A = this chain, B = another copy of it.
């Protein structure tokens, strides 16, 4: 019953009594095909409901028009917004994306890359898993001549393009804000030092303390996996100190949420007793009580830039990447958890 057979360029060719090659060229607006033929071909294509066979053209041209995207998880607002914008930019140029999640696992990330290479993607846009230290799987991508774009969680040593925010400077802004609020003992629950962005946040924190002549106390600088659970643990650790901090800057919102829960459970007043700042501006930061001051990372711009960076390589014959960083300004969103000033005018 159903017309199962799909229309191909051959069908169009035989209707018009021209060659399949001519049809292919007409559909691609080749200069050597007359306007008359182009029009006729496109009309027939429409009538027969022709859908190009992507696989065939990909095989022949060596380009799959597919881009792989690797993120730790899609269910954070940051990553889902980055993805949405990558997709928007790439779709316009005829590319589709394949999204994969590493779940912060090194092994899964390696598998994802194998999968993407197997699928013959034309490029990979990735943000690295927490666990990742060994970079061999990414080197494999590079050695195959496939453009690799990193964002958020990157690594200088790979010598590829990177799009992210200025983590060092973000820390400085956070510390300045807390100092302005009158805080004198500022703790930092940071991410793993081996991850560049978290290392930069730590450096920014340390340097800012020096700048404002605040004590740099080892007890106040903790390394964390930045999950909600670990945020709870590290906050508890800070509360157990003889000399408690009066402000805590957490390098991730989920961990900040854990910290907030512990503070609430201990009836500690935020921001007056302890001020709290997170990182990432996840939607829940404004939902919880008190709402959490956090850093907005311009995820939409990061996504767009990553996609555009990839597209630039599609125009080149040989891929020759080098470390090219595109650093965006982050934005501190001040909320109740760190805003002590009772009297404020709406500026």
Contacts and interface: CB of A to CB of B under 8 A. Distances in A.
Contacts of A75: 74-77, 80-81
Given A76-B75, A87-B100, A287-B288, A118 B51 contact: yes
A2 B145 contact: yes
A267 interface: no
Contacts of A103: 84
A298 to B, nearest CB: 16
B64 A74 contact: no
A259 interface: no
Nearest to A78: B75
A326 B54 CA distance: 34
Interface stretch (A55-63, A129-137, A303-311): A55-63
A120 interface: yes
Interface string A67-79: 0000001111100
Nearest to A76: B75
Interface string A267-299: 000000000000000011001110000000000
Contact of A98 (B81, B98, B287, B289): B98
A318 B322 CA distance: 50
Given A84-B101, A101-B87, A55 B55 contact: yes
28 contacts: A2-B145, A4-B145, A51-B117, A51-B118, A52-B118, A54-B120, A55-B58, A55-B59, A55-B120, A56-B59, A59-B59, A73-B80, A74-B74, A74-B80, A75-B75, A75-B76, A75-B80, A80-B80, A87-B100, A91-B115, A96-B98, A96-B115, A98-B99, A99-B99, A283-B284, A284-B287, A288-B288, A288-B289
Given A2-B145, A257-B287, 17 more contacts: A51-B117, A51-B118, A55-B59, A74-B83, A75-B80, A75-B81, A87-B100, A91-B115, A96-B98, A96-B115, A99-B99, A261-B287, A283-B284, A284-B287, A284-B288, A288-B288, A288-B289
